[in-house]
Structures are given as structure tokens and as C-alpha cells.
A and B are shown apart, each in its own frame.
Chain A
Amino acid sequence: MTDYNFAYLDEQTKRMIRRAILKGLAIPGYQVPFASREMPMPYGWGTGGVQVSAAVMTASDVFKVIDQGADDTTNAVSIRRFFERTAGVETTEATSDATVIQTRHRIPEEPLTDDQILVYQVPIPEPLRFLEPSEVETRKMHALEEYGLMHVKLYEDISAHGAIATAYAYPVEVEGRYVMDPSPIPKFDNPKLSMAAIQLFGAGREQRIYALPPYTRVVSLGFDDYPFEASKAEHACALCGATDSYLDELIVDDAGTRMFMCSDTDYCQSRRAAGHVGAQGTPFKEDAA
């Protein structure tokens, strides 16, 4: 591997990103500006996550990429191959084997441990953005802890839908201080944000990095009479029978028949390998795919 520096970015850039990451870890939930680089992929395809992954990656790391929970989508496959080529690191689809996991819009079902790093791809890091368009003003609001506006959004949800209808990118308060956008993960994943692994959030186009150190106290916002509720489809996975995992809904024929299955493909496969079978599942065979 001589054509690229290890993990594509030059060492100066990686140091710059690591400084932003350290600052982010020191001030949990605070959005640290950083000099985001052009990456060989378009904005919105995970350039922020890729830069953070590149900055934390070492030659002995084992890398996993998921896109909406799946290891086998275009985005996940191409980012995994990008680091296979530019860093020569080992890659895996097994959550427990990975040391660095880059994710788009999901947290793996399997609990992460304190020797793992979870890297999120973030499209819009500012939770107040759609309520207050001015960046100058939102930064001032963060600085002065003026977060009444965030509840206005939730109020609007309840008045329009009778319940807090925000189902993803559900705002959280970090360590009683900063309000943070947890990236567009389903709100089902919000309770998992207090975890053992380091969580890093990279927004490439918006040039922001923020972070959650292990075991950070993360509280999802809500009203006293309409508290936060994690939600998922009220079904079991059709393939592995799991009732505790976040489900994708598939329409499988022209009559509109629905099928629900785990969005976390690794979780589903390992359950099937362990002998669990759902209503429409077939017994798992190695190499069947």
C-alpha cells in the first residue's frame, strides 16, 4: 500500500481531526468545528463519518460498516472496501469482532463494549436548525443554554399528531448541558446512547464533530405528561423471531402484504445461526446466501 497514506488522509489532517475529537469528548454534546476535507465520495454519503474513522483507525483495528443496520448495502460495502484498500485493515460483519464501527442511522442491537468505537455519519448536526435558521443565533442559544425552542418542536408534534411524532433524530440532552442531535437514528435506539463504547459523530458537509464519552448520561427530551417513548413496529422478526430488535417493514407483493424483519442484519443472522426461526424464516444454513 504505497499509493495512499494509511487510511487515505494525510497525517496533519488526521491530527487536526483528532484534536476536534478530543475536544468533543471533553465537552460532551458540544459541536466542534473542524476543517472537513474533500473525500472521494459525495457529501451526504458519509464523508464526516469516514474522516472520523480514518482519524481513529490503527493498523490492528477491525472495521465494520452498517447502513441502516445492514452490512450489505451499497454505502456500507463501498466504505468498507475504501478502508480495505487505503488502510489495509481487516473488516468484519460481526458486531462483537469489530473495534471500529461506522454507522449510518442505527446503533447495533448487540451491546457494545468499552474497547469499541462507534462512528456516526451525521447529515445535520444542529438540532435547532429547522426552528432557527441562523447559525450565529443557534450557537448563542447553545452557549447560553436556551433550549425552550426544542420543546416548541415537540409541542408542535403533540398538537398536530396527539403524540410526539418525531421518530428519528430525536433530540437528547447530554450530561444536563448540551442538547444534541443523535443523528437520524430511530428513537428506539435513544436509550442505548448511554453505553460503554466511545461514540463519535462526524458531519462532513457541515464541518462539525461531536462526541459522547463512555457512560455519558443522555436524556431524551419530553414533557411531564407526554414523556419520551422508544418505539418500534409491534411485530416479531419474520426471519429470526426476535421481539426486542428494531424492524424494517417490507412490502413483498402487489397486494400490500407486509413483512417485518430485523434492520440489524448481523444480529438477525447470528440469531438464526443459533437456531432461532421466525414465522417466515427457514432454518439457517452456512453459505446459503
Chain B
Amino acid sequence: MSPLLQVDGLSKFYGQRIGCAEVSFDLYPGEVMGIVGESGSGKSTLLNCMAGHLPPDAGRVMFDTRADGMRDTVTMSEPERRMLGRTDWAFVHQHARDGLRMNVSAGGNVGERLMAVGARHYGDIRAQAIDWLGRVEIAEDRIDDRPRQFSGGMQQRLQIARNLVTGPRLVFMDEPTGGLDVSVQARLLDLLRGLVREMGLSAIIVTHDLAVVRLLADRLMVMKDGHVVETGLTDQVLDDPQHAYSQLLVSSVLQV
């Protein structure tokens, strides 16, 4: 099996400061990769560089495109990269407000990516929107409500539906459960786990919540000060951390 995404020596500097440095890994189809680390460790910078939101200073991000096979998304033209961003890629923001159009109805939010890739039949777009709202457990009669009338958890689920409607192959998630209370988090994780399995999605999840990666991620990368300090299978890293920082991170989790 060939990798879906190959990251090779990815670095980003903010002047003299390191955003992330020399990050390399492969991601295979259907695999979920977790990136953990404390605030300021460079995990969001890394995610944004991979998703094309930030131009990296060095390195390559190779993606297995449907048309041309492996392509470097850093050097491809902007229209191509933006096209990837609304077809094969999806990006789930920590704050649903960043990922949704708050003054457009739920149906319009889900339909936007369909219309952006050329759907021009209202009935079809609406049917797909209803289908996707159902999959993320939003009642059909809320389709014409605006996201601001939704609770935080619903907004996050709507954002996920909006991203997955075009059948992407790779999902970037930045703290998808941040700011939600634990019972809502649990439902959301359950949903995400189901969708990832069902659609065979590959995902890269950035979080500081170790419980989230324990549930969702197959593999784990621990970051500290812009560098990857440890990688491995999730259970292996969490149960037997090798690097001093990973040990600190794992032992810092509060036990209830």
C-alpha cells in the first residue's frame, strides 16, 4: 500500500523562532494520526502548513491526488491547492465559528462545498444536506436554521457534516472537541470514530487531550518546542512513554 500523505522535512520559522522543524512522516489510507503536545509546541503550525493555510519555509507535503498521483502540495499552484481544499481535503476548526458561515442556514453551509464543485440542482443539494445532517444527528427540521441558533456541540457536528459532504479522503482536525463539555465530547468522538471507520477516512488530529487520541488515533506523534520527540502506536506511546517529555505529559493527566 502506498502512503496517502508523505511529509518530508517540513519546517516553519517565525523570524528567529521555530514554529515546527524537520517534521517527517507517512500517513496511509484509513489511518488516523494524532499530534499531541502542550500549547506553543508547534502542532497547529504543523497542521496549517500541511493543510496549505500557511506556507512552510522548507520541506515537502506530498499528497496522492486522484488525477496525477503523488504531487507536492507546497509547490502546486494556488487554484489546484484550493481545489484540493474543497474536494479531497477537509479542515475541522477548533471553533465552529471559524469553519461555518454563521449567517447562512445549516443546509446552505452543508451545500456550499457541493456548489463549489459544480452542483447546480437544488433538490439534489438539499437531499444531500438532509442526509448529512442526519448522519451527524441534527434533526431534519433544523435545516433552515442558522448555526447561531445551534448549541456548541451541534455547531461542531454541523462543521463536520459541511466538511465531509464532498467525500474527502483526508481530514485535518484542530482540537475538534475543544471547549465542549465531556458528555458532548463523548458523543462527538463516537460520531467521528464511526464516520472515520465507515468512510475509510485518513485523519490528522491535533489535540492536547490525550483521551481524544486514545480513542481516535492509530498512531501518535508527540511534539515539544517545534520538534517531534516521540512517535509510535498510540497505545504504546501512552502506556510506555520513552521520552522524558512524553512521560511528563502522560503523568500529568488528572485521574478521576
Interface residues of chain A, those whose CB is within 8 Å of chain B, are 131, 144, 146, 148-149, 151-152, 155-156, 158-160, 223-226
CA distance A144 to B82 in the complex (A): 9
By Cβ-Cβ distance, the 7 closest A-B pairs, closest first, are A148-B116, A148-B115, A151-B115, A223-B122, A224-B121, A144-B79, A152-B108
Could you say which of A146, A155, A224, A226 contacts B108, with CB atoms under 8 Å apart? A155
Q: Is B107 an interface residue when CB atoms closer than 8 A count as contact?
A: yes
CA distance A128 to B69 in the complex (A): 34
How many Å from the CB of A165 to the closest CB on chain B?
13
> B73-117, CB under 8 A of A: which get 1 and which 0?
000001100100010000000000000010011011001110111
Is the CB–CB distance between A148 and B112 below 8 Å?
yes
Is the CB–CB distance between B82 and A155 below 8 Å?
no
Is the CB–CB distance between A131 and B122 below 8 Å?
no
How many Å from the CB of B83 to the closest CB on chain A?
9
> B99-141, CB under 8 A of A: which get 1 and which 0?
0010011011001110111001111011000000000000000
Is the CB–CB distance between B82 and A152 below 8 Å?
no
Could you say which of A149, A152, A158, A224 contacts B120, with CB atoms under 8 Å apart? A224
Q: Across the two chains, which residue of chain A brings its CB closest to B78?
A: A144
Could you say which of A146, A148, A149, A226 contacts B122, with CB atoms under 8 Å apart? A226
Main secondary structure of the interface of A (DSSP, over half): helix
Number of contacts between A and B (CB, 8 Å)?
52
Interface residues of chain B, those whose CB is within 8 Å of chain A, are 78-79, 82, 86, 101, 104-105, 107-108, 111-113, 115-117, 120-123, 125-126, 143-144
Is the CB–CB distance between B115 and A155 below 8 Å?
yes
How many Å from the CB of A195 to the closest CB on chain B?
26
Is the CB–CB distance between A131 and B126 below 8 Å?
no
How many Å from the CB of B124 to the closest CB on chain A?
8
How many Å from the CB of A194 to the closest CB on chain B?
21
Could you say which of A131, A146, A155, A224 contacts B111, with CB atoms under 8 Å apart? A155
Is the CB–CB distance between B112 and A159 below 8 Å?
no
B86: A residues at CB distance < 8 A? 148
**B104, B108, B112 interface centre (most CB from chain A within 10 Å):** B108
Is the CB–CB distance between B112 and A152 below 8 Å?
yes
Is the CB–CB distance between B144 and A151 below 8 Å?
no
CA distance A224 to B123 in the complex (A): 9
A-B contact pairs, 13 of them (CB 8 A): A131-B101, A144-B78, A144-B79, A146-B116, A148-B112, A148-B113, A148-B115, A149-B115, A149-B116, A152-B112, A156-B104, A159-B108, A224-B122
How many Å from the CB of A37 to the closest CB on chain B?
34
A149: B residues at CB distance < 8 A? 112, 115-116
Could you say which of A148, A159, A225, A226 contacts B107, with CB atoms under 8 Å apart? A159
CA distance A151 to B116 in the complex (A): 8
Could you say which of A148, A151, A159 contacts B143, with CB atoms under 8 Å apart? A159
A144: B residues at CB distance < 8 A? 78-79, 82
A158 touching B122 in the complex, CB below 8 Å, given contacts A144-B82, A152-B104, A152-B112: yes
How many Å from the CB of B238 to the closest CB on chain A?
41
